[in-house]
């Protein structure tokens, strides 16, 4: 994960979500890591803006590129590939609905007020994640995703 911060409050972040498991040739990507990385970025932006006295509305714009649409699934759960967490998101919360051609890019934009970055951050993450996953042709149960994120102790 790499962050860049500018003097005018712009924060850019790039992170990786895909990995190879063992000697397999298939790249897998992690839906859980997507939410963990989005959360880290929103938290960093909030802390940075708070430190300079900005408590207004900010914009989050996310772009996701997944070369192969193979999410990492284990026992019906989307576990993490990168982070040391036993928490996961149930496969029933986000299911791929592949069409006639693969979609490998997704985008999301969201205005976030102070509350959206603090007490309502979990809901904001679900909104951004839902936009990204829907672009990739996933059917998302936002309540189930939010419920799963409730079990992540760091996401408070």
Give yes or no for residue 134 having a pLDDT over 60. Answer: yes
Q: How confident is the model at residue 156 (pLDDT cuts 50, 70, 90)?
A: low
Cα separation, 112 vs 122, whole angstroms = 12
Q: Single out the residue of 2, 29, 36 nearest to residue 106, CA to CA.
A: 29
Give the global pTM.
0.86
pLDDT, tens digit, for every residue of 10-39?
Answer: 778 777 777 766 676 557 888 998 998 888
Give yes or no for residue 145 having a pLDDT over 90. Answer: yes
């Amino acid at each position: 994960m790499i962050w860049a911060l500018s003097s005018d409050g712009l924060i850019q972040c790039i992170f990786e979500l895909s990995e190879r498991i063992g000697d397999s040739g298939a790249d897998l990507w992690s839906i859980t890591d997507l939410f963990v990385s989005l959360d880290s970025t929103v938290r960093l932006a909030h802390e940075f803006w708070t430190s300079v006295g900005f408590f207004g509305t900010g914009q989050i714009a996310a772009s996701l590129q997944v070369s192969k649409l193979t999410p990492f699934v284990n026992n019906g759960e989307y576990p993490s590939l990168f982070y040391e967490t036993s928490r996961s998101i149930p496969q029933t919360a986000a299911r791929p609905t592949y069409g006639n051609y693969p979609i490998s890019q997704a985008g999301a934009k969201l205005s976030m007020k102070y509350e959206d970055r603090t007490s309502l951050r979990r809901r904001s993450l679900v909104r951004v994640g839902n936009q990204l996953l829907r672009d990739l042709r996933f059917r998302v149960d936002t309540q189930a995703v939010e419920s799963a994120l409730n079990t992540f102790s760091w996401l408070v």
